[in-house]
Chains A and B, each alone.
Chain A
Amino acid sequence: MTWWSRFWGRNELERDLDLELQFHITARISALRNDGLNEDEARRQVRQEFGGIEQVKEQCRDARGTRWLESTMQDLRYSLRTLRKSPMFTVVAVLTLALGIGANIAIFSLVDAVILKYLPVERPGELVQLQYRTPDTSSESRTFANPVWEQVRDHEDVFAAAFAWSNKDQLYFTQGGMIRPANGLWVSGRFFSALGLNAAMGRLISDSDDRRGCPAVAVLSYGFWQDHFGGEKSVIGSTLSLRSRAFEVVGVAPRRFFGMEVGDKFDLAMPICAKAIFDTTKFQLDDRNFLWLNVGGRVHPKMSETQLKSQLRTISIGMFIPPDASPAERQYLSKMALTAIPAGSGTSRLRSQFSQPLQILMTVVGLVLLIACANLGSLALARTVTRGKEFAVRKALGASHTRLIRQLLTEYILVSSGGALLGALLARWSGALLVRMISTAQNSVFLDLSLDRRIIGFVLAGAGLTPLLFGLLPALHSTRVSLSSSMKGNQSSEAGRSLHFHVRRWIVGSQVALSLILLVVAGLLLRSFVKLVTLDIGFDRNNVLLVHTDLQAAKIPVDRQAATYEEIESRLSALPGVLSVGRSMITPISGDLGMNTTVRTEWTKPSTAQRDFGRWSDADKKFVVYQDWISPGYLPTLRMRLLAGRNFTRADIGSSRTVAIVNQTFARRFFPGLNPIGRAYSEGAAPVTSVEVVGLVEDSKYLSLREENLPTAFLPHEPSDLADRDTLELRTAIPPSRLIVPVLTAVAEVNRAIPLESHTLADQVNDSLVQERLLAVLSGFFGALALILAIIGLYGTFSYLVAQRQKEFGVRMALGAEPISILALVMRDVITVLCAGLAAGILISLATTRVLQQMLFGLTPRDATTMFLAASVLSAVALLAGYIPARRAMREDPMTTLRQQ
C-alpha cells in the first residue's frame, strides 16, 4: 500500500493488526497448553514472551510511517474540542487577532497596490523609464519633448521596443449634449505592443497610427467603455467628439490595464501624432520646450545594466541640442545624459506622496498587533495554569514535552487562522474606505486592491507567526507543570507561580510601553493635523465655489474674452445665493506650480537674475516673487483683508500704468520699513516692467499650507493668450454644492461650448492635506484601539494577580493589617509596572519619533506636551484598571477567604 492509502485506511489497518496479534497469541497459548500448561499459566507465559501488546501495536504503528500526520490530526481534533469548551477565550482571541491582523492586512494591501505591485503587462521586469539630469540641478527630469522622443524611438538598437506616453491630459468629450471630462493618454505607436497588451475588442493603437498627419483615432479603456457606452459592441467605428474634434473609436483596451500611473486611470488613449490636431499657434510636436512625454523601453533580456548605461550615454550625445542652438546652449545641452530606472511598477505620484505615511502606518499597526499578542499571551498563560491538571495527566500517560507544546501551538494556530481569515475579510471591506481616504475631491484614486501572491503570503505569515509570538511562552510554561502538585489540586508549584507572576508583569509592562509609543505617535500626528486645519491662511475658504473655465476649448477668440467673462460674471452674480464673484488665473493651494518672476527695487541689491533654462540659481531665489492675475471681485470674494491702499477697479484693466497689490511679505522684503503704497518696483527681464503698488493685502497661502509666506503680487486681469482658462470664485450664502447646476446653466446660456469643472475652495484646501488627514485619522483610530486593548490586558492581569494573592491578603487582614494597606500593596505593584512601562516607552519614543519629522507641522518630534498628554492618559487608565481589582481585594472579608482556601 502506498503511504497515502496507509493513512486513509488506518482504521482498517488497526483492526487488521489486532486480529493478527490475537492469532499469534491464541496459537501460542494452544501450543503451550498442548505442552501441558493450564490456561492461566499459558497466558502468563505468552504475555511475558510477547511483551506488552499495546507496546507492540505502537511499534507497528510507527512502522507504518504515517505517524506524524496522524498525530497532527489528533492534535487538531483535540484542539478544536478544547477551544469549543472555552468559548470565551476562543471568541476573545479570534476577535482580538482579527482586529490586529486585519489592520495589518489592510495597510499592507495599500502598500502592495501603491508601492510593490507590478503593472498588469507582459514581463514588467524588463521595462525601464528614461530620465535625464540637467547639469546645474540635482534632480532628474522625466518628461521629454516630442523631437527628443523621436530620436530615442529611431534608435532601435538599444531597446527591444521603445514607447512613450503622456501624463494625464484632461480632455472634454461631448455625449448626449453634455460636456464631460475624460482622462486622456497620448501614446506612441508601439506603446501597446511593447507592453504586450491585446485589445479587449477591436484593435489598439499601432505603429501605423502614429505617423505625422495621422487621422484621429482613439482607444477606450475598459472601464470607460463599460461606464459610458454600456459595453456595447457598436462603439467600434463610432465617432467621439473631443474638445470639438472628431475621433474615431477603434478599440477597447484590456480590462486590467489602467495606464502607466499607479493611482490614476485613463479613459481614452490616442496616438501622439494626433496631438497636432489641437495645435493653435505652436506646433506641439516640434516644440522642444514643450515637455510632455514620458519615455520608456523594454530592455533586451540579454543586455546587462552596464551595457544599457553605456548605450544610453552614447545615444544621448547631441540628442537634446536643437539644430539652431547657440554655442552656449550647445555646450550646456551636451552635458545632458540619459539614464534608465526600472518601470515595472509604473510611475506614481501617489507613491511619492504616500510612501512615508504608509511606512508610518505599517509601524503603527504592527505595534497594535504586538499589543494584541501581549493580551493573548497573558490570556493563554492564565489558561495554561488553569489546565495544569490536564497536562499532568497527559504527562503521566507518557506525553513528551514536545507533544504538549505541539498540541498547544496547534490550538493557537487554529485561533490565529480564524483571526487571520476574519481579519482578511475586515481588510477587504475597509479597502474601499481607505482608497476613499487617500482620494481627493479633484483626483479620485483608483487602485487595484485585489489579492495577489504577496497579500496571500502576508496573511499566511500573519496566521503562522502570531501564534508563535503570543503562544510560545505559555506553551513552554505548560511543560513546567509539576505532576504531584497538580494532582493534589494546587494550581502550580511555588516556583512556577512566581515565574508566572513575573512574566505577566513583564507582559503588561511592555504593553504599557508599546501603548505609550502609539499614543505619542498618534498625538503628534493628530496635533499636527489640527494645527494645519486651524491655520490662519489669509483668506476665508468656506462657502466659496470655484468654477474652472476653458474658453480656449470653446474656441473663443482673444478679443472676445473680456466680454465673455464679463457676461459670465454678471450672470453668476445675479444667481440667488451668490454674494460676490471674483476671477483669477490661479487659485490658492491648487496644486499647480504657480507663476513667478523676479523683482527689483531701489531697496534691494540689484540682481542680474536670468531664467536659465527654467531654473533659478540659488543667489536669485531672494528676488523671486509669486504672481496672480485677478479681477476686482477677487479679494472681497475670498475675504482677504486690505491693510492699506485700495483694491483694483475696472479702470485699472487695460490702462497704460501697470499697477499691483502686494502682500506683507513682499513689502517687507522689497520695501523694508517703508509704506509700499505709491512706490514702484521693476519686474522681469527684457522687457523690464515698472509696476506701481496701489494696495497692501495681508499674507495668504499660495502653494501649500506648510509654506513660509511667499512674497506675492496681484495684478489686474488682462485678456491675453494665457488668460483663457480662468477660475471664477463665487462666495455663496448657501452650501456651494447647491449652486453647481445653476452655474452650469448660467454659463451655458452665455456659450454652450465652454466646459466647466467645479469644486469648493474648502475641498481644494482640504485636498492638500490628504496625507496628514490619513495619518491623523488612522493613527488616532489605532491609538484608541491599542489603548482599549491595553486596558483590557491591564485589568485582566491585575484581576488575576489579585485573585491569586487573595489568601495572602486574607491572612494579612486577619493578622490586623488595615484594608488600606492591602490597597496600597496592590497599587504599589500597579504603579511599579506602570512606571517601568512608561519609562521604556518614553525612551523608545525619544529615540525613534525622529522619523516623523517630515509629516509634522508646528511640532518637533520630541514635543514634550504631547508626551506628557499621552503618559497622563495612559497612567489614568492604567491606575483605574488596577484600582478596581485592588478595591475588591481590600473589601473581601478575610474570614470568608481563609475558609474557602
Chain B
Amino acid sequence: MPDSSPKSDLPQGTLDLLILKVIAVQPVHGYAIAQRLQQISGEVVQVPGGSLYPALHRLENRGFVKSDWKETETGRDAKFYRLMHKGRSHLEAQTANWRRLAEAVGVILNLAEEGTR
C-alpha cells in the first residue's frame, strides 16, 4: 500500500549497516531484508530493489556476508545471506560510530534550540 509518511533516502554506508544488522539476527534472503526493514521502521525505511541488491552484492564482495541458495518455507529456492566474522566486526565498529555520531548530533541540536529561546 502506498504510504503517507515521507520516505527517507539512506546514505550508502547507513544502508549497509542496516542490512548487516538484519542479517546478523538470522540468515535471510533479499526480499525478507526489504520487508523487515520496512516493517520494523514503521514504513519509514523503504529500500527499493535498485539500492538493496547492489548493496548486498557489494557487501558480499567485501567478505562481510556470504550467500547460499536454500529452500524457503514455501518450497521455492532463494538466495540466503548470512553474516561472516568480518561482517560482524564491521557491524560492531560501525554501530558504535553511529551511536557516537547520533549522540553528538543530538547534543548540538539541543543546544541550538535553547539558544533561540
Contacts and interface: CB of A to CB of B under 8 A. Distances in A.
B30 interface: yes
B49 A21 contact: yes
Nearest to B49: A50
B48 interface: yes
Contacts of B48: 49-51
B30 A59 contact: no
A62 B54 contact: yes
A679 interface: no
Interface in B35-64: 35, 48-50, 53-55, 57-58, 61
Nearest to A26: B76
A555 interface: no
A59 B26 CA distance: 26
A56 B54 contact: yes
Contact of A28 (B31, B77, B79): B31
A24 B50 CA distance: 12
Contacts of A25: 49
Contacts of B30: 20, 23-24
B10 to A, nearest CB: 15
A59 B79 contact: no
A20 B79 contact: yes
Given A23-B29, A23-B76, A23-B78, A59 B50 contact: yes
Contacts of B35: 31
Given A24-B30, A56-B49, A56-B50, A63 B61 contact: yes
Nearest to A27: B31
A64 B31 CA distance: 20
Interface in B9-36: 29-31, 34-35
A65 interface: yes
B48 to A, nearest CB: 5
Nearest to B76: A23
A21 B54 CA distance: 11
Contacts of B109: none
A51 to B, nearest CB: 4
Contacts of B34: 24
A354 B61 CA distance: 60
Contacts of B1: 35
A170 interface: no
A63 B50 contact: no
Contact of A63 (B31, B54, B79): B54
Contacts of B78: 20, 23
Nearest to B55: A63
Contact of B53 (A19, A35, A59): A59
Contact of A23 (B50, B57, B61, B79): B79
B28 to A, nearest CB: 12
A16 interface: yes
A238 B23 CA distance: 86
Nearest to A50: B49
Contact of B50 (A16, A19, A28, A50): A50
A19 B58 contact: no
Given A23-B79, A24-B30, A28-B31, A64 B61 contact: yes
Contact of A64 (B55, B57, B79): B57
A304 interface: no
Nearest to B29: A23
A55 interface: yes
A772 to B, nearest CB: 67
Q: Is the interface of B mostly helix, strand, loop or mixed?
A: helix
Contacts of A60: 53-54, 57
User: How big is the B interface, by class?
Assistant: 10 to 19
Given A63-B54, A65-B61, A24 B49 contact: yes
Given A23-B78, A24-B34, A63 B57 contact: yes
Contacts of B31: 23-24, 27-28
A572 to B, nearest CB: 90
Contacts of B29: 20, 23
Nearest to A23: B78
A55 B53 contact: no
A29 to B, nearest CB: 11
Contacts of A50: 48-50
A51 B61 CA distance: 23
Contacts of A65: 61
A25 B76 CA distance: 13
Nearest to A47: B49
Contacts of A16: 79
Contacts of A31: 35
Nearest to B61: A65
A638 B34 CA distance: 106
Contacts of B54: 56, 59-60, 62-63
Nearest to B54: A59
Given A24-B31, A28-B31, A49 B57 contact: no
A56 B53 contact: yes
A60 to B, nearest CB: 5
Contact of A49 (B49, B53, B58, B76): B49
A63 B31 CA distance: 19
B13 to A, nearest CB: 15
Nearest to B34: A24
Interface string B78-107: 110000000000000000000000000000
Interface string A47-86: 0011111011001101111000000000000000000000
B29 to A, nearest CB: 7
A53 to B, nearest CB: 8
A56 B57 CA distance: 11
Contacts of B61: 1, 6, 63-65
Contacts of A51: 48-50
Interface string A486-522: 0000000000000000000000000000000000000
Interface in A1-53: 1, 6, 16-17, 19-21, 23-25, 27-28, 31, 35, 49-53
Most chain B beta carbons < 10 A, residue from A24, A25, A53, A56: A24
Contacts of B79: 16, 19-20, 23
B63 to A, nearest CB: 10
A49 B7 CA distance: 12
B5 to A, nearest CB: 16
Contacts of A53: 49
A900 to B, nearest CB: 51
B43 to A, nearest CB: 13
Contacts of A55: 50
Contacts of B57: 60, 63-64
Contacts of B53: 17, 20-21, 24, 56, 59-60
A35 B3 CA distance: 14
A20 B76 CA distance: 11
Contacts of B49: 21, 24-25, 49-51, 53, 56
Contacts of A17: 53
A24 B30 CA distance: 7
Nearest to A65: B61
A52 B53 CA distance: 13
A407 B57 CA distance: 28
A21 B61 CA distance: 18
A70 to B, nearest CB: 15
A64 B30 CA distance: 17
Nearest to B79: A20
Contacts of A23: 29-31, 76-79
Given A19-B77, A27-B31, A62-B54, 4 more contacts: A21-B53, A25-B49, A31-B35, A59-B54
Interface of A: 1, 6, 16-17, 19-21, 23-25, 27-28, 31, 35, 49-53, 55-56, 59-60, 62-65
Closest 4 CB pairs of A and B: A51-B50, A50-B49, A59-B54, A63-B57
30 contacts: A19-B77, A20-B30, A20-B53, A20-B79, A21-B53, A23-B29, A23-B30, A23-B79, A24-B30, A24-B49, A25-B49, A27-B31, A28-B31, A31-B35, A49-B48, A50-B48, A50-B50, A51-B48, A51-B50, A56-B49, A56-B50, A56-B53, A59-B50, A59-B54, A62-B54, A63-B54, A63-B55, A63-B58, A64-B57, A64-B61
